[in-house]
Amino acid sequence: MRKFILPLLASAALAIALPALADDAKPLAGQSITVLMPSPQGATVAADFEAETGIHVDLQTLSWDDIRPKLVTALVAGTAPADVTEFDWSWTGQFSAAGWYMPLNDVIDKDTVADIGVAKIFTVDGQLLGVPYTNDFRVMLVNKKHFTDAGVTEMPKTLDALVAAAKKIKEKGISTYPIGLPLSATEGASTSWYLLTKAFGGELFDKDFKPLFLTPDSAGHKALAFELSLLKDGLVDPASTGLKDSQINESMFAQGLTSIMISGEPGRLGQMNDPKQSKVAGQVEAILVPTESGQTRSFGLPEALAIPNVSQNKEAAVAFVKWFTSREFQKKNAANGFLPTRTSALSELNTEGKLTSGDALVAQSKTVEPLFQQGTPPWYPQFSSAVNTAINSAAKDQMTVDQAMQAIADAAKQAMAQ
């Protein structure tokens, strides 16, 4: 566990002899803050922080799905849900428009922002609203043994090479449906399409939020057509129209039934290589996202810490945010399943041999882009719902690609007008 608190004074006599040092080291000692984060968190977070700073922390945790309603309810009422709270990438537009959170530009140094590249996802109109503490971006997860058994010696860099490898795996009888791709009306279907839109070299919207996916030569249009071709060619299980990404990961990929997760999550590497949770332990690795051009791309879905404007303990809250997102703590917290957002921490863990598929993760992390160049819009939830509903309908042959893209564009236009 995390054991990097500053050395404690060895005796009461030494503490008496050096009172000024103790005061200088803990200028906010005696203050208290509340922190609201998703469960689970490391068991000694509050105790470690208090030992180092003298600030008492009441660490409250909820399931991820329960946090946003609690935040919104409190903030609409003008009360602080906590002094420091979870702040997801997808909430940026809504929370920024509401003016609920304190800009952090003046309290977070530029070197930190530079080291945490995904901080730009939480920056709106030049205002940094949250400091990312756990990284989530898309890579591709593969069962390297399946590739080897199929005679595929080089991991694919292009989408064409990916399809060719999947067909070899299928032809060899290693996997009936080698590609894992959620096609249900759930968020996993949306994020997979977003990634493939990037892979085909495009973006979802222009600078004015005009849809860029309506024409057949657009990246988003090609991405959905590509997904449907994988389904038609028998590379994706038809049952995927009713499965969440978590179900495909756990019931198919972790069981050795699927060879490739199109939109892979770095945080699942530990689970996939744990014999207690996976039948493919030792076989799974991350590779750079293949693209049409061969030049990898990805986008980020990180989580941050932020401070509500109505917090009454902002100075102590800032101290917690800085501590929790420090390079030293991020390296320690990686043992709890939190991938560092700092490039320096990620690189050091890789150098020390403590990062599974470290070279790929470090390389992919440097390519992470925001999904929306202008910042995540307030209407993102409606947009995402329209995306996965249309994809699901197209996968069930209830819509053409053209109709699905138009339905998404219409829903986005309606959401923007509300």
Q: List, for residues 153-194, the tens digit of each pLDDT value.
A: 999 999 999 999 999 999 999 999 999 999 999 999 999 999
pLDDT tens readout for residues 308-365: 999 999 999 999 999 999 999 999 988 777 899 999 999 999 999 988 899 999 999 8
Tokens of 121: 């996802």
Cα 21 from Cα 109, distance rounded (Å): 24
Q: In the structure, what pLDDT confidence band is assigned to residue 8 with cuts at 50, 70 and 90? A: very low
Query: What's the chain's average pLDDT?
Result: 91
Cβ neighbours of residue 180 closer than 8 Å, sequence gap 6 or more? 236, 240, 248, 249, 252, 253, 258, 260, 261, 262
Beta strands in 250-390 (DSSP E): 260-264, 284-287, 298-299, 303-306, 368-369
Q: If you average pLDDT over residues 249-270, what whole number do you get?
A: 93
- What's the length of the chain? 418
275 CB burial (10 A radius; 0-12, 13-18, 19+)? exposed
- pLDDT of 33 > 50? The answer is yes
pTM: 0.81
Can you give the pLDDT at residue 2? 35
Band (93; pLDDT cuts 50, 70, 90): confident
For residue 252, report the phi and psi dihedrals to the nearest 5 degrees. Answer: -120, -60
Query: pLDDT exceeding 90 applies to what percent of the chain?
Result: 78
The whole-angstrom separation of Cα 231 and Cα 225 is 10
Report all structural domains of the chain as residue ranges with CATH numbers, in order of start.
12-135+301-369 (3.40.190.10), 139-299+379-417 (3.40.190.10)
- Rounded Cα gap, residues 227 and 240, in angstroms: 11
Please answer whether residues 36 and 58 qualify as being in contact, where contact means their C-beta atoms are separated by less than 8 angstroms: no
CA 412 to chain centroid, in Å, comes to: 23
Residue 22 has pLDDT above 50, yes or no: no
Q: Quick one: tokens of 65?
A: 């799905």
Closest CA to 204 of 418, 411, 395: 411
Does the pLDDT value for residue 280 go beyond 60? yes
**Partner residues linked to 59 by β-bridges:** 35
Q: What digits encode the pLDDT tens for the residues 47-75?
A: 999 999 999 999 999 987 789 999 999 99
Give the Cα separation of 385 and 391 in Å (integer): 10
269, 357 Cβ separation under 8 angstroms? yes
C-alpha 15/C-alpha 21 separation (Å) is 9
- Percentage of the chain exceeding pLDDT 70: 94
Report the range of poorest mean pLDDT among 60-74, 136-150, 211-225, 385-399: 60-74
How many angstroms separate the most distant Cα atoms in the chain? 79
